[in-house]
Amino acid sequence: MAEILIKSVAKSFGAYTALHDINLTITDQEFMVLLGASGCGKTTLLRIIAGLETASTGEVWIGGRRVDNLPPKDRGIAMVFQNYAVFPHLTVFENIAFGLRMKKVPDSEIKRRVERTATLMHIEKLLKRYSGELSGGQRQRVAVARALAMEPDVILMDEPLSNLDALLRLEMRAELKGVLAESKTTAIYVTHDQVEAMSLADRISVMHQGRIVQAASPIQVYRNPAAEFVAGFIGNPPMNFLPAEPVGSGRWRVAGSELTGPMHSNPLKFAIRPEDVRPGETGFGATARIVEPLGAHLLVTCDVDGSMFRAVLDSDMTVRPGDRLVLQPQPDRIRWFDPATTLSVN
């Protein structure tokens, strides 16, 4: 069992607070992604879990043990970083075996583990090669194999795929997901790439300015963002927002249309994803400004009542800049946010 508990963890560097009161439980064998823009504190949180950084306050528990005062090597974790620290002068075998030799694991067991993890990562034919002769993708596989060979309870990864080209990244992403599910390891993975986060995670913790804004499954984060920040950060293109005025009894005026929404007496923000609108008879009057045919669909950036509004439409539609459209929001996909708190109210 390797559940990870992060209790009221905060971290300051001098006067700067990098993490505020982080509380998070990562369940045994869960794949948790920490997602956020540069500087939001995700690496700092990972380093605190690893023991490479100490928290200013709070507690870290791994597998039922409080680990705050334990060095990284005694925490039952293995790490893979962006600059994966594969030693070029060692063979692939010796690179994968490195941590096991440090722990004085018997030779026969080292051989078994190296061969097993190398096969998992599809590098079993490279074991005799020097790592300096490998491609970036192959070196990355060696780094992951080395971490898995430790048979850790927990694997911590910080942007491990960021040095790879787009195609290799896609391949490695799928492989990593399969391998980690098979090895039953609890994983925490740091990235600023939302597609990577969506594809890998059991749950995503969306971080912003040193706080976790939402921790939920990828589809929940996408469909039911808990805060305006999440709605604007997840999804490419992001959600559309329009001001909404209450007209009484849960009815709202949005860009000249009347819609049903939550019971709330103050103005709200209406939000909808670009793919959750359809051309219809009734809805928002829109003027197309930019039309981008993206193959699978047509991305149309419009003006709706003075606000920018993006719609993802069927690629068979013909739309030209200047065309007038009527866009109907799909009622069950509408989200409402309170501008006072920036939180979702439905």
Structure tokens at 53: 């950084």
The verdict on 36 binding ligand ATP (CB under 6 A) reads yes
State the Cα–Cα distance between residues 194 and 211, nearest whole angstrom: 17
Nearest residue to 17 (alpha-carbon basis) of 41, 48, 49 = 41
| Percentages of the chain per state (helix, strand, coil), in multiples of 5 | 30, 40, 35
The verdict on 160 binding ligand ATP (CB under 6 A) reads no
State the Cα–Cα distance between residues 107 and 129, nearest whole angstrom: 19
Question: Which residue in the set 18, 32, 97, 212 belongs to the binding site for ligand ATP (CB under 6 A)?
Answer: 18
Residue whose CB is less far from ligand ATP, 40 or 204: 40
Kindly indicate which of the ranges 39-47, 58-66, 94-102, 280-288 contains the residues binding ligand ATP, using the contact rule CB under 6 A. Answer: 39-47
Kindly indicate which of the ranges 36-44, 244-252, 269-277, 285-293 contains the residues binding ligand ATP, using the contact rule CB under 6 A. Answer: 36-44
Report how many residues bind ligand ATP under the rule CB under 6 A. Answer: 12
State the Cα–Cα distance between residues 51 and 69, nearest whole angstrom: 8
The residue nearest ligand ATP at its CB is: 43
Residue whose CB is less far from ligand ATP, 39 or 178: 39
Kindly indicate which of the ranges 1-9, 32-40, 72-80, 288-296 contains the residues binding ligand ATP, using the contact rule CB under 6 A. Answer: 32-40
User: Shortest Cβ distance from residue 44 to ligand ATP (Å)?
Assistant: 3
State the Cα–Cα distance between residues 275 and 282, nearest whole angstrom: 17
The residue to which tokens 């209406």 are assigned: 270
The verdict on 42 binding ligand ATP (CB under 6 A) reads yes
- Strand stretches in 121-210, DSSP E: 154-158, 186-191, 203-208
Residue whose CB is less far from ligand ATP, 42 or 335: 42
Question: What are the phi and psi torsion angles at 225 (to 5°)?
Answer: -60, 135
Question: Which residue in the set 39, 136, 256, 293 belongs to the binding site for ligand ATP (CB under 6 A)?
Answer: 39
User: Shortest Cβ distance from residue 232 to ligand ATP (Å)?
Assistant: 17
Nearest residue to 35 (alpha-carbon basis) of 194, 184, 160 = 194
Which residue type is seen at 235? G
Our measurement of the distance from residue 252's CA atom to the centroid of its chain's CA atoms, rounded to an integer in Å, reads 33
User: Shortest Cβ distance from residue 60 to ligand ATP (Å)?
Assistant: 15
Question: Which residue in the set 6, 32, 41, 204 belongs to the binding site for ligand ATP (CB under 6 A)?
Answer: 41
User: Shortest Cβ distance from residue 208 to ligand ATP (Å)?
Assistant: 10
Residue whose CB is less far from ligand ATP, 85 or 102: 85
The verdict on 131 binding ligand ATP (CB under 6 A) reads no
The DSSP code for 3 is -
Residue whose CB is less far from ligand ATP, 210 or 218: 210
User: Shortest Cβ distance from residue 49 to ligand ATP (Å)?
Assistant: 12
Pair 80, 158: CB distance under 8 Å: yes
Q: Give the DSSP per-residue string, 256-294.
A: TEEEE----SS-EEEEE-GGGEEEEEEEEEEEEEEEEE-
Kindly indicate which of the ranges 33-41, 167-175, 293-301, 315-323 contains the residues binding ligand ATP, using the contact rule CB under 6 A. Answer: 33-41
The verdict on 156 binding ligand ATP (CB under 6 A) reads no
Question: Which residue in the set 4, 6, 33, 40 belongs to the binding site for ligand ATP (CB under 6 A)?
Answer: 40
Structure tokens at 256: 């000249």
User: Shortest Cβ distance from residue 180 to ligand ATP (Å)?
Assistant: 21
Residues 187-216 that bind ligand ATP (CB under 6 A): 192
C-alpha distances (whole Å) from 145 to each of 50, 124, 149, 186, 192 are 18, 10, 6, 15, 23
Nearest residue to 244 (alpha-carbon basis) of 154, 189, 305 = 305
Q: Which residues in this chain contact ligand ATP in the complex, by CB under 6 A? A: 13, 16, 18, 36, 38-44, 192
